[in-house]
Copies of this chain bind each other. A is one copy, B any other.
């Protein structure tokens, strides 16, 4: 039953976007009374958080193929580009997960799922970064796995979130956003590498087509 409510919410969310997820619309689309939802969720926030947790689980699944690579650096590349793709393809979900300061952070249930490489993407990234450090991939002075993880995350997140928030302002002649994400990633990686890297990836200087973010 919770599942049916969440399905309806998910559909509404994916089809009509961010602000369309209203309790009444969810209730209507499942042909129930708005108050019924409160039998299964304490809050609207709790309902939304259930959605987010599902999305987190999906993200973790999407990371799995990247873990097959032998070289830890390739694993790092893999999850970063996967994260980038996911954020660009599902901006609504991304916005909810990483651009909305709602999740109180002090919620014990929510917090316990974090920092675990199995269920949390930060924990997973952290462990891969640590593997890179152990494999002496990075320069010797770069020893703080948290700092490195947070920097990679911020870099990729910056490209995604800036695109979601400002990507539809045409006077900024935006370069293609995915290429920009890869450029950012390789920029960071290559500066951190112990053995100097090859050239940075090329980025097309044709401004991105206007079909960037379809609201």
Q: Which residues of A contact B (CB under 8 A)?
A: 95, 98-101, 103-106, 111, 114-115, 122, 141-142, 144, 146-147, 150-151, 153-159, 161-162, 164-166, 168-175, 180, 183-184, 187-188, 190-192, 199-200, 203, 205, 213, 215
Contacts and interface: CB of A to CB of B under 8 A. Distances in A.
A154 B172 contact: no
Contact of A191 (B103, B142, B187, B205): B187
A161 B171 contact: no
B161 A157 contact: yes
Contacts of A171: 111, 114-115
Nearest to A161: B161
Contact of A180 (B150, B170, B184, B215): B150
A138 B158 CA distance: 22
Contact of A151 (B98, B101, B146, B187): B187
A169 B142 CA distance: 24
